[in-house]
């Protein structure tokens, strides 16, 4: 489609996945539509279209013809839809439902219901049926004009059958319970939306911008990149950007889920929807609205429905066959038993949306709850896959480690070569530290992490690196510079082919301990060796132990570092390793496991690991807050750098799948039992109507446990 365009249309009134399918089919029939995704939780349709062939007005009409409402984006509600049904109203509805149910059940049991049925004239019952059932009948009629059968079609047929047989009171009660079921389904859908809507409600609506004439508060949509935004104590930060003045303590829980606040001063990056608890700052705007990290999180969580789990696809497919099957059972019941009452009961008991709700309610509950705690899960598909994964591949630098190497050992030539740690170096006379002084000066303008480690060591000794002359980077070697008239070369390669035995012995010892060696040559002679090691994240050993306990059959470290460093770390963590790998090597290893039938999880930092994260069945990016690459490449993004989140998200996935299986099992057994009792005449239509909302309530109660999980 050469002239493709993407539009979003808010759709109001959808209560279950069947509703989204109904809207999808209505829009898809229009010319010029190439793709449609309808989302229950965010109440919107995302449509790829050719504007030369179809207009938004035609799309709106198709949605309304399907029985749903359209509102302009500017009027789209941030509060939870359905929140107008306050607790008192819901309580009153529950009381009325309970009273009516009690009267009906007791009346049926005592045989009084037949007497009441005979006393209710048609000219009273019929208006009541039309008035109470109009919203549902309207949807059924619109669906019929579009040659579609929806779940309410069955109960509507049941109501018509009750009227034909003269069971007017039964028809009235059926309509009442049909409306109660409607409210239950709507309430169930709203509970699934709650976590996501709570996130959306946190989005800033205005910003205080510094202008030529002073401070002005403007709508967030009017803020532009480069504007200076002023944030005072206790206020939401409205944009992503860099602090250019001031200092504040920032609560970033809305982004990372981390309870502990962070300190932010000039040069720090801050995120929209976080709170400046203490202090005032000025922020140079870099991202606004959907271009902020918070905006991307909301958008991805809203659209997580697009990545449906396989079990959900099976349930959706079953739902499409379920209604014709029920109509068939009703026809067989009528043909064999010649009992219109039993036939009505079959139609009524089967009208619940429970099968369609069983999977998405649980998935969306976990996705929404995870987003509030720093876990960005892109869809139920990845929760399902993660729950069954058996291979875990892990990047090293920036993932298991902090990505900030430090000098831990120093080898000096002081009347013979010997090794000391950095604490001993700090006690040495300054005159004996000349090679460190020269190395720090040569590395002054290098951006390499190891250069930063050398400078950091020198600064810890209380000095500032000198200004080098003729600084040059030497590819494959390191850096070269002239310092105080001496030529200094610092790097990973030694310039001399042969070294004295004691040096060779010490360097081998350092390498075996996982250190990276930095050789310092002055005027062509080796004067010292620095041993650098990356720092392991303190929570990693416990987290890896938990993952091994969760049953991963293969846990392997993949790194571009040398084999000595990888072996030392892997030994401590009791896992396998492969070292000196390029990015394409990591992809090859992922494919090797996949070709053997394994389900692979890859954990990386989302930058250099992006290809491997995308290739894995589930890619998990560490510390993805503010990183577009990490958020785009990974299937699950951990918004803060905390390895405890990795076993947490595995447990969440497995818990979610247990809930899904319980929902599906409960719904299947309930419907089978209900259809059987109804078909054999043991379940009167009134009871069937009263009981058809129970599966929805059961699914809601079971799935709600996931909303509150920590």
Could you give the CA distance from residue 425 to residue 529 in angstroms, rounded to a whole number? 13
CA dist., res. 607 & res. 588, Å (int): 18
Q: Which residues contact 13 (CB under 8 A, 6 or more apart)?
A: 19, 67, 68, 69
Give the pair of three-digit tokens for residue 241.
């950007």
Identify whether the C-beta of residue 518 lies closer than 8 Å to the C-beta of residue 442: no
The rounded Cα 79 to chain-centroid distance in angstroms is 21
In this structure, the strands spanning 391-395 and 600-604 are parallel
Rounded to an integer, what distance in angstroms lies between the CA atom of residue 70 and that of residue 72?
7
User: What distance lies between CA 338 and its chain's CA centroid?
Assistant: 53
Angle at 429 between CA 428 and CA 433, to 5 degrees: 80
Burial class (CB in 10 A: 0-12, 13-18, 19+), 669: exposed
> How far from the centroid of its chain's Cα atoms is residue 51's Cα?
32
Catalytic annotation on 240?
Answer: no
Task: For residue 29, give both structure tokens.
Answer: 């029939």
Encoded tokens for 676? 């059987």
CA angle in degrees (0–180, nearest 5) for 75-236-224: 65
With contact defined as beta carbons under 8 Å apart, do 399 and 605 qualify? yes
Q: Which residues pair with 240 in a beta bridge?
A: 287
- Exposure string of 472-487, with b = 16+ CB inside 10 Å and e = fewer, is eeeeebbbbbebeeee
SS (H, E, C) 670-704: HHHHHHHHHHCCCCCHHHHHHHCCHHHHHHHHHHH
Q: Is beta strand 554-558 parallel, antiparallel or unpaired with respect to 391-395?
A: parallel
On the CB side of 325, CA atoms within 13 Å amount to 11
Residue 231's CB: how many other CB atoms inside 10 A? 28
DSSP annotation of 535: P
d(CA 159, CA 139): 15
Which two three-digit tokens encode residue 510?
A: 């350092």
Distance between CA atoms of 52 and 620, rounded to whole angstroms? 41
As given in the structure block, the two tokens for residue 152 are 């309410």
User: Running DSSP on this structure, what letter comes out for residue 4?
Assistant: -
The single-letter DSSP state of residue 374 is T
Give the whole-angstrom CA distance, residue 379 versus residue 360: 10
Measured at the alpha carbon of residue 50, what is the angle toward residues 49 and 52, in degrees to the nearest 5? 145
Which is catalytic among the residues 15, 316, 395, 648? Answer: 395
> What is the rounded distance in angstroms from the CA atom of residue 567 to the CA atom of residue 579?
8
Q: Please give the structure tokens belonging to residue 103.
A: 């009267």
Look-up: residue for tokens 């449509």? 47
**What angle separates helix 380-387 from helix 354-372, to the nearest 10 degrees?**
90
- Sign, CA torsion 181/67/341/132: positive
Q: What are phi and psi of 232, to 5 degrees?
A: -100, 165
Query: How many degrees, rounded to 5, is the angle at CA 242 between CA 239 and CA 244?
Result: 115
Residues in a beta bridge with 216: 209
Tell me if residue 165 falls in helix, strand or coil. coil
Positions marked catalytic: 395
């Amino acid at each position: 489609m050469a002239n493709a365009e993407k539009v979003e249309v808010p759709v109001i009134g959808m209560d279950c996945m069947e509703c989204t399918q109904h809207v999808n089919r209505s829009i898809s029939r229009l010319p010029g539509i190439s793709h449609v995704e309808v989302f229950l939780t965010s109440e919107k349709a995302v449509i790829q279209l050719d504007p030369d062939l179809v207009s938004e007005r035609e799309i709106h009409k198709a949605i309304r013809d399907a029985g749903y409402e359209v509102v302009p984006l500017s009027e789209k509600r941030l509060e939870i839809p359905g929140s107008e049904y306050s607790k008192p109203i819901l309580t009153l509805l529950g009381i009325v439902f309970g009273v009516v149910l009690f009267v009906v059940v007791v009346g049926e049991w005592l045989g009084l219901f037949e007497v009441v049925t005979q006393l209710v004239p048609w000219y009273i019952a019929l208006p009541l049926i039309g008035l109470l059932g109009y919203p549902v009948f309207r949807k059924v009629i619109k669906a019929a004009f579009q040659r579609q059968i929806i779940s309410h079609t069955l109960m509507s047929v049941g109501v018509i059958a009750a009227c034909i047989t003269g069971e007017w009171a039964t028809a009235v009660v059926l309509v009442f319970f049909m409306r109660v079921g409607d409210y239950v389904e709507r309430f169930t859908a709203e509970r699934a939306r709650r976590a996501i809507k709570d996130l959306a409600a946190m989005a800033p609506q205005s910003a205080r911008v510094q202008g030529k004439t002073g401070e002005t508060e403007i709508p967030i949509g009017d803020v532009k990149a480069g504007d200076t935004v002023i944030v005072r104590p206790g206020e939401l930060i409205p944009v992503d950007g860099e602090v250019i003045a001031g200092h504040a303590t920032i609560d970033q829980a809305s982004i990372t889920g981390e309870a502990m606040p962070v300190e932010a001063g000039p040069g720090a990056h801050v995120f929209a929807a976080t709170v400046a608890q203490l202090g005032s700052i000025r922020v140079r705007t870099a991202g606004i609205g959907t271009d902020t990290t918070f905006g991307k999180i909301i958008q991805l969580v809203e659209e997580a429905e697009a990545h449906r789990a396989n079990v959900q696809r099976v349930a959706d497919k079953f739902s499409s066959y379920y209604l014709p099957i029920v109509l068939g059972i009703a026809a067989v019941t009528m043909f064999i038993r010649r009992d219109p009452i039993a036939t009505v009961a079959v139609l009524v008991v089967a009208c619940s949306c429970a099968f369609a709700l069983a999977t998405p309610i649980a998935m969306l509950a976990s996705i929404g709850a995870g987003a509030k705690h720093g876990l960005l899960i892109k869809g139920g598909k990845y929760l399902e896959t993660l729950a069954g994964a058996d291979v875990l591949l892990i990047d090293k630098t920036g993932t298991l480690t902090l990505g900030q190497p430090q000098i831990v050992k120093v080898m000096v030539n002081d009347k013979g070569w010997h090794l000391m740690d950095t604490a001993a170096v700090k006690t040495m006379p300054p005159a004996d530290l000349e090679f460190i002084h020269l190395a720090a000066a040569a590395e002054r303008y290098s951006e390499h992490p190891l250069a930063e480690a050398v400078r950091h060591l020198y600064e810890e000794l209380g000095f500032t690196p000198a200004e080098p002359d003729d600084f040059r980077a030497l590819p494959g070697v390191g850096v070269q510079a002239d310092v105080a008239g001496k030529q200094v070369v610092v790097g990973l390669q030694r310039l001399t082919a042969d070294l004295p035995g004691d040096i060779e012995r010490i360097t081998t010892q350092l390498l075996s301990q996982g250190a990276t060696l930095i050789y310092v040559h002055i005027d062509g002679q080796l004067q010292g060796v620095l041993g650098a090691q990356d720092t392991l994240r303190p929570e990693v050993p416990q987290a890896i132990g938990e993952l091994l306990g969760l049953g991963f059959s293969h846990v392997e470290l993949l790194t571009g570092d040398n084999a000595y460093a990888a072996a030392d770390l892997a030994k401590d963590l009791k896992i396998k390793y492969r070292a000196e790998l390029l990015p394409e090597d990591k992809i090859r290893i992922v494919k090797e496991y996949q070709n053997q039938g394994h389900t692979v999880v890859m954990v990386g930092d989302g930058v250099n690991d992006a290809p491997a994260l995308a290739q894995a069945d589930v890619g998990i990016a560490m510390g993805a807050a503010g990183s577009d690459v990490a958020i785009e490449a990974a299937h699950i993004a951990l918004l803060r750098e905390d390895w405890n989140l990795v076993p947490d998200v595995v447990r969440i996935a497995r818990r979610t799948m247990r809930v899904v299986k319980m929902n599906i099992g409960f719904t299947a057994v309930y419907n089978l039992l209900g259809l059987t009792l109804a078909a054999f005449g043991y379940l009167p239509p009134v009871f069937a109507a009263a009981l058809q909302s129970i599966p929805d309530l059961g699914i809601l109660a079971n799935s709600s446990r996931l909303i509150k999980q920590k």
